[in-house]
Amino acid sequence: MTARLVVLASGNGSNLQALLDASQSGELDATIVAVISNNADAFALTRSTSSGATTIVVAAEPGELRAHYDARLADACAEFSPDYVVLAGWMRLLSMAFLAQFPQSVVNLHPALPGEFPGTHAIERALQAHQRLGLGRTGVMVHLVPDEGVDNGPVIAAVEVPIELDDTLESLEQRVHAAEHALLVQAMQHLVNAPRNP
Ligand code: GRF
């Protein structure tokens, strides 16, 4: 059976695009049943609309409590009965008010290896660690989000990305993003094929 994915994206949406393309080509046995953004200006929304996917903005109201927003967002997602909710460049932390509604079903992408550089600017921090300490590689991971831990949870897939001697932030970002696009599709295909716990 084709899996139902809701994708949450806040910005450029290149990872969303990878999922849309893979779904359309049949490489990924899943349908993107909705794309939701917290940011009405996100380019991800243009990508989603062009692909014909249902596209929704759920923006936080000024002063809205996180738990209240997260409950609204969970309601918006639940309308589409997703098998998985994919955080593809989603730039808001999600509390249990959201996560408890989708146990074992929220998937996050992080541009670093498991346990490394949680939070924002992970690629830049990896490059700095390379320049200071000769880190030699960074990577990408896709993991489940069981709780409020940041960029932390059971790993579905991870891949190393070497840091070259002459890497700039731009060149490293480019390779990390290319690795993300491939790994996210691969990890989702693995998940949608795996038997679920009851
Ligand atoms: C990706 O590097 C993702 O891992 C991080 O934010 C970036 C989003 O890129 N959380 P895009 O919006 O998918 O192009």
Q: What is the pLDDT of residues 78-99, one digit of tens each?
A: 999 999 999 999 999 999 999 9
Candidates 68, 64, 56; CA nearest to 97 is: 68
Instruction: Answer for the pair 58, 67: CB distance below 8 angstroms, yes or no.
Output: no
Tell me, using a 6 A CB cutoff, whether residue 88 lines ligand 1. Answer: yes
Closest ligand 1 atom to residue 44 Cα is: 12
Using a cut of 0.85, tell me whether the model's pTM lies above it: yes
The whole-angstrom separation of Cα 46 and Cα 13 is 9
Q: Determine the distance separating the centroid of ligand 1 and the alpha carbon of 161, expressed in angstroms.
A: 16
Look at residues 108, 94, 89 and name the one whose alpha carbon lies nearest to residue 177. 89
Report how far ligand 1's centroid is from the alpha carbon of 9 (Å).
Answer: 8
Q: Which two tokens stand for residue 138?
A: 């960074």
* Model pLDDT, residue 61: 97
Cβ–Cβ under 8 Å, residues 35 and 45: yes
CA distance 77 to 156: 22
CATH superfamily of 3-114+139-160+179-193: Formyl transferase, N-terminal domain (3.40.50.170)
Whose alpha carbon is nearest atom 2 of ligand 1? 111
The mean predicted confidence, pLDDT, of the chain is 97
Q: Whose CA is nearest to atom 5 of ligand 1?
A: 89
